[in-house]
Chains A and B, each alone.
Chain A
Amino acid sequence: MFKKAVNVIEVLALVAALGFAVALARGSDSGSGAGAGESGSGAAIYSSNCASCHGNSGQGGVGPELGDGKVVEAYPDAADEVAVVKQGLGGGRMPAFGGRLDDEEIRAVVDYTRTQLGN
Chain B
Amino acid sequence: MATPNAAPTARPALPVRLLGLLLAGAAVSVALGVYSDVHDPTGEQTYTLFFTATINFKVWFATVAVFFALVQILTAMRLFGKIHIPRQVPRWLGDVHRLSGTLAFGFSLPVAYHCLWALGFQSTDTRVLAHSLVGCFFYGIFTVKVLSVRSHGLPDWLLPLVGGATFAALVVIWTTSSVWFWTEFGFPSF
With most chain A CB atoms within 10 A of its CB, the pick from B35, B112, B118 is B118
**Of listed B40, B48, B189, residue having the most chain A CB within 10 A:** B40
A51-B54, A52-B55, A56-B54 in contact; A31/B40 too (CB < 8 A)?
Answer: yes
**Interface residues of B: mostly helix, strand, loop or mixed?**
helix
Among B41, B45, B105, the residue within 8 A (CB) of A56 is B45
Report B135 CB to chain A, min CB distance, Å. Answer: 13
Q: How far is the CA of A31 from the CA of B98 in the complex (A)?
A: 37
A28 at the interface (CB under 8 A from B): yes
Number of interface residues, chain A, beta carbon within 8 A: 41
Across the interface, name the chain A residue whose C-beta is closest to B125: A100
A28 CA / B41 CA spacing, docked (Å): 9
Q: Once bound together, how far apart are the Cα atoms of A102 and B181, in whole Å? A: 19
- A23-50 residues with Cβ-Cβ distance < 8 A to B are 23-24, 28, 30-32, 35-48
Residues of A participating in the B interface, judged by any CB pair closer than 8 Å: 2-3, 6, 9-10, 12-13, 16-17, 20, 23-24, 28, 30-32, 35-48, 51-53, 55-57, 61-62, 95, 102, 105
Jot down 22 A-B pairs with beta carbons below 8 A, ordered by A: A2-B95, A6-B98, A6-B99, A9-B103, A13-B106, A16-B109, A20-B113, A24-B39, A28-B117, A30-B44, A31-B43, A32-B42, A39-B120, A39-B122, A43-B44, A47-B55, A52-B52, A53-B52, A53-B185, A56-B48, A56-B54, A95-B184
